[in-house]
Homo-oligomer: A and B are copies of this chain.
Amino acid sequence: MTYCVGLLLRSGIVMLSDTRTNAGLDNIATYRKLFTFEVPGERAIAIMTAGNLSVTQTTLARLEEAMSDDPDADPARNILRAPTILRVAEIVGEALSEVRGEIAGRMAGAERMAGASMIVAGQRRGGGMRMFLIYQEGNFIEATEDTPFLQIGEHKYGKPILDRVVRPDLGLDDGRKAVLLSMDSTLRSNLSVGMPLDMAVIAEGDLRITERTRIEAGDARFAAMSESWSHALRDAFGRITL
């Protein structure tokens, strides 16, 4: 399993993913699920992936190939050249649906094991920030002012806190806090979601990856935040009257 969450705030984009991949409880591994691409000053894009690892890795490999200098690379599929972030989402959706179809086609009777989804977000010069959740068929939905966050993977445990605190006018620091607390609730409840975590921030108008962090297991700041959140919750619980 996986948990990835992205916020589309007026102050910028915040993306957080775990890194645990498992093929059964007895076969777990760490794989990056957050990928960033930039042409500094022109555009910044972040992609997070959930689902079948062979599908998501192959999709990313094809996207990277299209960005390369290789003369065979198809410029129409280069997300660094696409005219808009909407077109970036379409390119990612086309690649995902194509790869997923090929792999599912070879998994007679187990097609649903080839499921995958992605969150794509970014900004290009002259355009607004956008964030899309891309389904395995290549179609997508977009984050809006009403629902300024998107989740893929094990989304339920971490949703109540997002529902309560995420608003489009949240600052980037509060955005980081919100996704980390949402991840913390998920980590506590689902063993198949695991540290380390990858975070990327793209500040509005920055047109580059403003920040990219890996939070390792045992990270003191994350542990302290998790601990004080637990305290704060128990405290608040004590003060509520029925």
List the interface of chain A (C-beta within 8 A of B): 156-161, 163-165, 173-174, 176-178, 180-181, 185, 188-189, 221, 225, 228-230, 232-237, 239-242
Cα–Cα, bound, A173→B242 (Å): 8
What residues of B have a CB within 8 angstroms of the CB of A185 in the complex? 160
Cβ-defined contact, B237 with A177, below 8 A: yes
CB distance from A1 to the nearest CB of B (A): 12
What residues of B have a CB within 8 angstroms of the CB of A178 in the complex? 237
Q: Which residue of chain B lies nearest to A222 when distances are taken between CB atoms in the complex?
A: B242
What residues of B have a CB within 8 angstroms of the CB of A232 in the complex? 236, 239-240
Q: From DSSP, what is the main secondary structure of chain A's interface residues?
A: helix
Cβ-defined contact, B234 with A240, below 8 A: no
Cβ-defined contact, B242 with A221, below 8 A: yes
Cβ-defined contact, A160 with B173, below 8 A: no
Cβ-defined contact, B163 with A240, below 8 A: no
What residues of B have a CB within 8 angstroms of the CB of A225 in the complex? 240-242
With A164-B237, A229-B240 given, can you name 5 additional A-B contacts, CB distance below 8 Å?
Answer: A156-B156, A158-B160, A176-B242, A225-B240, A228-B240
Cβ-defined contact, B237 with A236, below 8 A: no
Q: Which residue of chain B lies nearest to A236 when distances are taken between CB atoms in the complex?
A: B232
Cα–Cα, bound, A228→B160 (Å): 15
Q: A189-B159, A189-B160, A242-B173 are in contact. Are A229 and B221 (CB under 8 A)?
A: no
Cα–Cα, bound, A229→B242 (Å): 10
Cα–Cα, bound, A177→B181 (Å): 22
What residues of B have a CB within 8 angstroms of the CB of A177 in the complex? 237, 240, 242
Q: Which has the most chain B C-beta neighbours within 10 Å: A174, A225, A233?
A: A233
Cβ-defined contact, B242 with A164, below 8 A: no
Q: Which residue of chain B lies nearest to A182 when distances are taken between CB atoms in the complex?
A: B160
What residues of B have a CB within 8 angstroms of the CB of A239 in the complex? 232
CB distance from A98 to the nearest CB of B (A): 32
Cα–Cα, bound, A177→B240 (Å): 8
Cβ-defined contact, B181 with A237, below 8 A: yes
CB distance from A148 to the nearest CB of B (A): 16
Cα–Cα, bound, A211→B155 (Å): 35
What residues of B have a CB within 8 angstroms of the CB of A236 in the complex? 229, 232-233, 235-236
Cβ-defined contact, A234 with B165, below 8 A: yes
What residues of B have a CB within 8 angstroms of the CB of A174 in the complex? 237
